Chains A and B, each alone.
Chain A
Amino acid sequence: MRYNDYSEIIMIEKLKEILRHRELILILVSRELKARYRGTVLGFFWSLFNPLLLMLVYTVVFGFIIGGGRVAGFESTKFYALFLFNGILPWTWFSSSLLESANVLMVQGALIKKIKFPIEVLPIMVVTTNMVHFLFGLPVLVAFFLIFGKSLTWWVLFLPVSLLAQYIFTMGLCFLVSALTVHFRDIKDILANLITLWFFATPIIYTYGSVPKALQYVLNLNPMTHIVESYHYAFYFGSLPHWKRFSVTILVGLLFFYMGYLLFDKLRDTYVEEV
């Protein structure tokens, strides 16, 4: 097998092609951000509104209504709120990316139909824009840690690795979803329900450790379990994540990315006519 054949399989040329569009991706992401933040004075607040609301609701429900002032396994209700926000932030990045990518090729149809445009840039734009929202949320998370009096550790520096793992996995899924929704319009509705289910199948409102052993096997099959866990380790627990599970998750993420892009690329010529 010649060198070329390998590069074909691992998509080196395709990845280079995507990198060539980085200026386009950057300007589209900044367009999305500016448009979101310009329309309203509280733009920045609105992108955090949903995660904050979720945190508040679960804290009230589990901390005060059910728990009567304390949540099992947590030192205090304040810490439970911290733990919640720690997981909800990356989850919001993930779920918003998926939902928006189901629409993005239709919403941006004019770009696809009327000009020569590298279409893969659109799902990339969605995932990257939501990542920036996530990054904007991090200072707020750190502030909560300081306010609630829980110290952070050097393990915070593990964050870029978690970020990369989540980016690759989310990107793969978003390629799949955006490509398939063009052909099957009800994926969007199926997805909305699936994401609710997926939320509860990921350790966000409960800790991984509090789950019975038998159910942990099921949770292990969910890549988001390990990704959200790695954020918990970086911030809340302040220790090294379970590196074996996390490494496998990175590999699974790469596989999703590969398959997702492959399918997206395969269906590329159909978008012009179908969106």
Chain B
Amino acid sequence: MEVVQVHEVFKFYKKYADRHKFLTIKSALVNKTLFGDLQVGERFEALRGVSFDVKSGQTLGIIGENGSGKSTLLKILAGISKPTTGEVITSGRISALIELGAGFHPEISGRENIFINGVILGLTRKQIQEKYQEIVRFAELEEFIDNPVKSYSSGMFMRLGFSIAINVNPDILLVDEVLAVGDASFVPKCLDKINEFRRHGKTIIYVSHDLATIERICDDVIWIKKGKIEMRGYPKRVTDAYLEYIGKKDEKKSLAQHGEEEKLSGNEKEKRWGSREIEISNVKMFDAANREKYIFETDEPLAIQFDVEARVAESDFVFGIGVYNGEGVNCYGSNTLLENYAARQIQGKGKVRLTVPALGLVNGTYFLDIAVHKRDGYPFDYHHFQYTFRVTSNHRDVGIARIPHHWEFSDNIALFKNEDS
């Protein structure tokens, strides 16, 4: 049975930047455009004809680049905004994990905020009273529940918000990337709870950049590209196609960027800076067999390779690399200076290759920083978060790095390893 039906949904937004940010009566009267300004002007098409169904008990993943329309779609599914045309039919109670702790008042205790937030999410006081203990226990806030929320850390705030939202006991759960902001020990707990929902046959729609999680928990994945469904199907198939597209796009972008810095938009400028006396291009990743690849197993060997071009001869230069996980945590960073390479001379075109015998990172999506700069930090070319790769494995361990280890037990402890998992 379909519990969510999305039919030919279009969503247009008015573009403000070139018209007005905040309209005033004064300007409307002065320009004699009182009624004209209320008309829709130039518009941005966030969704362009999206149709799909979700069956009861299904877990659907939605992936796509920033600005592709994922969040707009989720807001429409949640009933927060309405489609410009088309229709969305849902059956059952919906809980959207888009904003956690909406309506929390900082001056008021956690206890009272549970009731406020619960009522805002559609529960009655009585229902909240019944679930109160469970909410507090799950949020691990027993000791702090009578303190005002302003004294909570952001992690505590998120935990409380998540705990209330999940205890609304919805039939359909919409999850945005909120989980990424929780503290490290709470994220697995949230995923466990979401898994529990799946086991109970609830319907889940999960929007995320974290492809590893999407693959692990979803039955079906939709890839949204520029407001349209590019692909729908088996998770692994869709995420692989998506990663390949992203990889190719990055490559094209770095080629197109060659010597055209002025064309870069503000967003891209943040991702790349430097004087370009030495320039990095064509950053690629390879596996042990030297095939270009962006998805690796935890223990797989890999290589990162890029082209460099020095326009003038330079004797002060350092190559550096940084690896960040999906939450923006720096997992590893190093450069040739830190590893005691003394720079002598660089001129013309060349290649740099960094080989890694075993990556040792846990499941997830990672970002790369690649840079060349002077010893004092003066940047020639700094690529920040420009490249993505993913680590998938059957290991279910958590954290950042997979520290090599093995377990040992004395004879009186009986434990047997399940080799198939």
Question: Interface residues, chain A, CB within 8 Å of chain B?
Answer: 23-24, 27-28, 31, 34-35, 38-39, 110-117, 183-187, 190, 269, 272-273
Choice from B108, B120, B121 contacting A35 with Cβ under 8 Å: B108
B23 in complex: contacting residue of A35, A110, A183, A269, CB < 8 Å? A183
- A271's nearest neighbour on chain B, judged by CB, is B81
Decide if B14 touches A187 in the complex (CB within 8 Å).
Answer: no
- Complex contact B99–A115 (CB within 8 A): yes
Closest-CB distance, A226 to chain B (whole angstroms): 29
Task: Decide: B99 and A116 in contact? CB cutoff 8 A.
Answer: no
Contacts of B102 in A (CB 8 A): 110-111, 114-115, 117
Q: Tell whether, in the assembled complex, residue A115 and residue B81 are in contact, meaning their CB atoms are under 8 Å apart.
A: no
Residue of chain B at shortest CB distance from A24:
B119
> Is the Cβ of A110 less than 8 Å from the Cβ of B99?
yes
Residues in B neighbouring A269, C-beta threshold 8 A: 81-82
Contact check, A185 vs B96: say whether CB atoms are below 8 A apart: no
A31 touches B125 (CB 8 A): no
Choose from A39, A112, A185 the contact partner of B107 (Cβ within 8 Å). A39
Chain A residues in 8 Å Cβ range of B396: none
In this assembly, does B67 line the interface, its C-beta being within 8 Å of a C-beta of chain A? no
Pairs across A and B, CB under 8 Å, 22 listed: A27-B119, A27-B125, A31-B103, A31-B112, A31-B116, A34-B108, A35-B107, A38-B148, A114-B102, A115-B96, A116-B80, A116-B96, A117-B120, A184-B28, A185-B23, A185-B24, A186-B24, A186-B25, A186-B26, A272-B80, A272-B81, A273-B14
Interface string of B104-140 (1 = CB under 8 A from A): 0101100010011001110011000000000000000
Interchain CA distance A28-B113 in the complex, whole Å: 10
Q: Is B78 part of the binding interface, using a Cβ–Cβ cutoff of 8 Å?
A: yes
A184 adjacent to B78 (CB under 8 Å): no
Contacts of B80 in A (CB 8 A): 112-117, 272
Complex Cα–Cα for A111 and B116 (A): 12
Question: Which residues from A are CB-within-8-Å of B24?
Answer: 184-186
Name B116's contact: one of A27, A110, A114, A187 (CB within 8 Å). A27
Residues of A within 8 A of B175 (CB): none
Which B residues lie within 8 Å of A110 (CB)?
99, 102-103
Report the Cα distance A255→B99, complex, angstroms. 37
Which DSSP category, helix, strand, loop or mixed, fits chain A's interface? helix
Interface presence of B22 (CB below 8 A) = yes
Give the A-binding residues of B (Cβ under 8 A).
13-14, 22-26, 28, 38, 75, 78-82, 94, 96, 98-99, 102-103, 105, 107-108, 112, 115-116, 119-121, 124-125, 148
Across the interface, which residues of A come within 8 angstroms of B28, CB to CB? 184
Contact indicator B105/A114 (Cβ below 8 Å): no
- A114: chain B residues within 8 A (beta carbon): 80, 98-99, 102
Q: What are the 8 tightest A-B residue pairs by CB atom distance, in nearest-first order?
A: A114-B99, A186-B24, A116-B79, A185-B22, A272-B81, A35-B107, A184-B25, A27-B119
- Find chain B residues with CB under 8 A from A38 CB: 107-108, 148
- Is A31 a contact of B26 with CB atoms below 8 Å? no
A115: chain B residues within 8 A (beta carbon):
78, 80, 96, 98-99, 102, 120-121
B39 to chain A, nearest CB (A): 12
CB-nearest residue of chain B to A37: B107
Looking across the interface, which residue of chain A has its beta carbon closest to that of B37?
Answer: A183
Measured between C-beta atoms, what is the minimum distance from B98 to chain A in Å?
5
CB distance from A117 to the nearest CB of B (A): 7
A73 to B25, CA, bound (A): 43
**CB-CB nearest in chain A for B125:** A23
A28-B116 contact, Cβ under 8 Å, with A110-B99, A114-B80: yes
Q: Are A23 and B96 in contact (CB under 8 A)?
A: no
Q: Given A23-B125, A185-B22, A187-B25, decide whether A35 and B99 contact each other with a Cβ distance below 8 A.
A: no
**Whole-angstrom CA separation of A45 from B336 in the bound complex:** 67
Given contacts A23-B119, A35-B105, A110-B102, 4 further A-B contacts (CB under 8 A): A31-B108, A38-B148, A114-B98, A190-B25
